[in-house]
Amino acid sequence: MSAVLTNPLRVGLRQERIIPAQCIVIFGASGDLTQRKLIPALFELYRQRRLPSEFAVLGCARRPWSDEEFRSRMAEALGDEIAGHGHIWEGFAAGLFYEPADLANPVSIVALGERLEQIDRLRATRGNRTFYLSVSPAFYGSGTRALAAAGLLDDPDRTRVVIEKPFGTDYPSAQALNKVVQACAKEKQIFRIDHYLGKETVQNILVLRFANTIFEPIWNRNYISNVQITAAETVGVEERAGYYESSGALRDMVQNHLTQILALTAMEPPGRFDAEAIRNEKAKVLQAARLAHRSEPWKCCVRGQYGPGGSARSPIPGYREEPGVNANSTTETYVAMKLFIDNWRWQGVPFYVRTGKRLPKRLSEVVLTFREAPVHLFDAAGGAPTPNQLILRIQPDEGADIRFEVKAPGSGMRSRPVDMAFSYDESFGEPSDEGYVRLLADAMLGDPTLFTRSDEVEAAWRLYTPLLELIEDAPWQLPVQPYEARTWGPAAADVLLADDGLVWRRP
């Protein structure tokens, strides 16, 4: 969480839209996401004075907590965030309520409706409701159905439902889930959340591309030779083996976060800046994307799993030794793959995508590498000039770099690569928000621009279907290859690029 309440620069720089009177109902209120992300994000909005006074949070879970107990647990979860802001916390906490409820039990959802009406009267929230499903994905369909059956989604202008990832586990299950939720609510009420789209730097891909004239003319196959998209994490599976064992990196990171970054990087300019225009272009580019070897997917994908690593003083357990992980698990904690986008802009340009846990650095970035100069006039450090690169630093150290050759000082005419760097921190002097701050605000405002539409989700799952089927039906063709914790993944991932005469960027 960013600790930022009163930075006047920050307030001044923003043109915030006003969130209307609102009750946000969080299912899964006793869970990790609520405590680590949702409540801190709502508190941050409150501190930024972006929540109206007619505001309430209703936490729902099976535990029989009282309002008071919920408040004190959320205060505990916020810890240092509220130290020194006691009075602000008190104002926020007055709007926190709790109701034991079970999405699997329609009767309890009907009772919830009554509690919501009480809250409407008490807090003047006027029937504006955002239902946030931070529950096991098994309940996304039935939970939305229970809300609809209780009449809680009847008003398409005042009610909406936010659905966490993963939205389905493959193409058919995503299609089926879309059918269920679309039978309960209008598409404009359904907010499929991908927290990467809440990151400033991910949104900045759009601004950088479409608010400048220097990039877009060269943003295509004539100038760009390849694109690398990386999301590296230092953490392991943490306490999430129960979920991760059946998900793996492909479903956990690639199908959603990395594919969204790919879509923003590769999409055509939208005709206007609105939700439908942007999502149309993202859906189109995903429909044109394909694995580099569709019928032999093992040739364009590498799966890895971290083994033990670290040092004698601070050893890191391997994935199979993590609590809750099967000792023979074949779940991947690393994926690298090569994709193509079959359209006029990108035909023939490889997009390499990789993500992994327990890598040496936490870092997400997009690297666009430009074609080499046709003639090398100068001696270059390393023999040949480094191709120009545009590096979009998603996190941490948010910003962008342009790498180009300059004359190295001295009497000769040797060239050397340098970086021209833009840093969010240096230019704006403020840390960027957690994605959830932005996305919760947008959901409450009913703005779906940064949420994933049904056709996008389906296109993303369809893209990876050949891989998912292979892992299911012939896993020996795409085995998980071990890599030592704190290294950059299995050697085969390097070979994937070496075969094309390339290397992964080592930041």
Q: Among all residues, whose Cβ is closest to ligand BG6?
A: 252
Q: Which residues contact 114 (CB under 8 A, 6 or more apart)?
A: none
Residue 257: active-site member: yes
DSSP 12: H
Task: Provide the β-strand partners of residue 303.
Answer: 335, 480
DSSP, res 452: B
Shortest Cβ distance from residue 317 to ligand BG6 (Å)?
Answer: 17
Instruction: Provide, rounded to whole angstroms, the least separation between the CB of residue 5 and ligand BG6.
Output: 22
Report the C-alpha gap between 90 and 321 in whole angstroms: 43
Supply the minimum distance, in Å, between the C-beta of residue 166 and ligand BG6.
9
- HEC secondary structure over 433-450: CCHHHHHHHHHHHCCCCC
The answer to whether 60 and 25 are in contact (CB under 8 A) is yes
- Strand, helix or coil at 177? helix
**Residue 501 region, left (φ>0) first, then alpha (ψ -120 to 50), else beta?**
left
Question: Which long-range contacts (C-beta less than 8 Å, at least 24 apart) are formed by 31-39?
Answer: 31/61, 31/134, 31/135, 32/239, 33/134, 33/164, 34/59, 34/134, 35/73, 35/74, 35/77, 36/77, 37/195, 37/434, 37/436, 38/132, 38/134, 38/436, 38/440, 39/74, 39/77, 39/78
395 alpha-carbon distance from chain centroid: 12
Least Cβ distance, residue 280 to ligand BG6 (angstroms): 25
Q: How far is the CB of 169 from ligand BG6 (least distance, A)?
A: 14
Binding positions for ligand BG6, rule: CB under 6 A: 233, 252
Instruction: Give the β-pairing of 414-423 and 289-291.
Output: unpaired
Q: Quote the CA–CA distance of 241 and 26 in Å, as a whole number.
A: 23
Catalytic residue among 85, 87, 195, 257: 257
Give the C-alpha separation, 34 to 28, whole Å: 7
Query: Which residue, 99 or 434, is less far from ligand BG6 as judged by CB?
Result: 434
Q: What is the 3-state secondary structure (H, E, C) of 351-382?
A: EEEEEECCCCCCEEEEEEEECCCCCCCCEECC
Contacting residues for 501 by C-beta, under 8 A, at least 6 apart: none
Terminal CA-CA length for the chain? 25
Helix (H, G, I), strand (E, B) or coil at 157: coil
Residue whose CB is less far from ligand BG6, 177 or 439: 439
Q: Where are the alpha helices (DSSP H) in 150-274?
A: 171-184, 200-210, 241-244, 248-249, 259-266
CA angle 210, 212, 215 (to 5 degrees): 85
What's the CA gap between 160 and 144, in Å, rounded?
10
The smaller minimum CB distance to ligand BG6, of residues 194 and 405, is found at 194
Q: Which two tokens stand for residue 430?
A: 């403020």
Residue 447: Cβ within 10 Å count: 15
d(CA 137, CA 184): 17
Say whether 25 sits in a helix, a strand or coil.
strand
Nearer to ligand BG6, 233 or 322 (CB): 233
Residue 254: CB minimum distance to ligand BG6, A: 11
Q: Show which residues are catalytic.
A: 257
